[in-house]
Amino acid sequence: MADVSMDTIVSLCKRRGFIFPSSEIYGGFGSTWDYGPLGVELKRNIKEAWWRSMVQVRNDVVGLDASILMHPTVWVASGHVASFQDPMVDCKVCKQRFRADEVAGNRCPNCGGELTEARMFNLMFKTFVGPVEDEASVAYLRPETAQGIFVNFLNVQMTSRKKIPFGIAQIGKAFRNEITPGNFIFRTREFEQMELEFFVKPGTDEAWYHYWLEERMNWYRRLGIRPERLRLRHHSREELAHYSRATADIEFLFPMGWAELEGIANRGDYDLGRHSQFSGRDISYFDDETGERYIPYVIEPSAGVDRSLLAFLVNAYDEEPDKEGVRVVLRLHKMLAPYKVAVLPLSKRPPLVELARKVEALLRPHFMVTYDDTQSIGRRYRRQDEIGTPYCVTIDFQSLEDNAVTIRDRDTMEQIRVPIPELVDTLSHMLKWED
């Protein structure tokens, strides 16, 4: 497997329509990115894979889609108004801004100018709700999806009638006014999270914490992340966030080095306890089997969609020499690949194209399909390899006689011949989920 630079990934993403700089015709807008036709499919597939393993195949997790704007007291109760801040320094000469913990000494890493004293900077985006822009109308864009889950604990528990232990899962946008965004989509100010809050009985929290560490590592492994690029890092006591009893990061070896992909935390009863206190509502759980009432503890696996997407791209990128120079292959897990099948007529002659269009129409209701009839077949295979399409279906002159087509496998490059009436079943079998 090739080691790949961030520049190569950024350029592939731009060239093939995975990710574009946002507002590009206006010169871009710092650290904001738009997902193109292939990127949006990859992103949907990652979210689908997460939802499937965290919600669909389990009987102890239900979903939620809470709003981004929430009551401002939520962020006081959660501790974000007081504690969600980074120390920031400014360069007195070039005016560039840095996180104080990321620069050594008091000289600007950019121009060598003198830096200001460190000031605390709250990372939440502030906005105003309604026409009057005063203190009373301040609201925040949520900096994590988690709080939407905590404030809905009673609603979800009562309506779903789930008993502890159970979890609530959510995927959605979060916003942080990061001082130093960067490394492509690794750290941005607008991003998506996939979060599970798993509520357990106090005393069972440690066992569940370890359970979720293992589950989440396995999720990345099952989706093809190579073991040598994945590791678990336990936080030291000093490093723990204000709400956390224990935290570990799942880290991935990105082109810029090891960095956090997902955080798994034992949040204890901090969040439900604080929301009980600030809202005046009793957010506790009554265990009707033991007759006990308690505030559940929470284990939280919290992953970034965009970071996972970057990791899956870096992990999948491969190059190998071939007759034309270099063959670039994205060895994406087939369930993540943007297109599952490419339909390729061997030539542009009308009877072949006609049959190829029929095959395309046959497949479209079942799979994400792309169609390509330009340039040589070798070139077209390379184009599909480069975007990770697991299967190419080729329609050749013999297809007109035997009503069969060839399926080519991206990774083995092996080809099998399949009658057209059996094509949907064969591909469905090849593209079946394996949990």
Sort strands 341-345 and 391-395 into parallel, antiparallel or unpaired: parallel
How far is the C-alpha of 212 from the C-alpha of 197, rounded, in Å? 11
How many residues contact ligand GAP, by CB under 6 A?
Answer: 19
Are the CB atoms for 171 and 46 separated by under 8 Å? Answer: no
DSSP string, 164-196: SSEEEEEEEEEE---SS-BTTTTB-SEEEEEEE
Q: Which three-class secondary structure state does DSSP give residue 431?
A: coil
**Can you tell me which of 41, 86, 90, 195 binds ligand GAP, judged by CB under 6 A?**
195
Smallest distance, Å, CB 202 to ligand GAP?
A: 20
A 10 A CB-CB count for 79 gives 15
Regarding 197 and contact with ligand GAP (CB under 6 A), the answer is no
For ligand GAP, the binding residues in 156-185 under the rule CB under 6 A are 176, 178
Site string for ligand GAP, 134-153 (x = CB under 6 A): ----------x-x-------
- Considering the complex, state which of residue 176 and residue 340 has its C-beta at the smaller distance from ligand GAP: 176
Q: What tokens were used for 426?
A: 């064969």
- Considering the complex, state which of residue 247 and residue 394 has its C-beta at the smaller distance from ligand GAP: 247
- Considering the complex, state which of residue 71 and residue 366 has its C-beta at the smaller distance from ligand GAP: 71
Site string for ligand GAP, 274-313 (x = CB under 6 A): --------------------------x-xxx-xx------
The β-bridge partners of 344 are 394
Smallest distance, Å, CB 190 to ligand GAP?
A: 8
- Considering the complex, state which of residue 307 and residue 333 has its C-beta at the smaller distance from ligand GAP: 307
Regarding 187 and contact with ligand GAP (CB under 6 A), the answer is yes
Smallest distance, Å, CB 13 to ligand GAP?
A: 16
Count, residues in the chain: 435
Regarding 122 and contact with ligand GAP (CB under 6 A), the answer is no
A 10 A CB-CB count for 348 gives 10
**Can you tell me which of 122, 188, 315, 399 binds ligand GAP, judged by CB under 6 A?**
188
Residue type, 380: R
> Residue 180: CB partners within 8 Å, gap ≥ 6?
97, 98, 99, 102, 187
Smallest distance, Å, CB 380 to ligand GAP?
A: 35
How far is the C-alpha of 311 from the C-alpha of 250, rounded, in Å? 12
Q: Rounded to 5 degrees, what angle do the CA atoms 349, 354, 358 make? A: 150
- Considering the complex, state which of residue 90 and residue 195 has its C-beta at the smaller distance from ligand GAP: 195
Q: What tokens were used for 253?
A: 């070896």
Site string for ligand GAP, 202-221 (x = CB under 6 A): --------------------
- The alpha carbon dihedral of 395, 396, 397, 401 has a sign of negative
Regarding 260 and contact with ligand GAP (CB under 6 A), the answer is yes
**Can you tell me which of 39, 165, 172, 263 binds ligand GAP, judged by CB under 6 A?**
263
Return phi, psi of residue 38, to 5°: -85, -35
Stretch that binds ligand GAP, among 57-65, 188-196, 283-291, 379-387 (CB under 6 A): 188-196
**Can you tell me which of 18, 140, 184, 191 binds ligand GAP, judged by CB under 6 A?**
191
Which strands form 85-90's sheet, in the order they lie side by side? 97-99, 85-90, 119-122
Binding interface with ligand GAP (CB under 6 A)? 144, 146, 176, 178, 187-188, 191, 193, 195, 260-263, 300, 302-304, 306-307
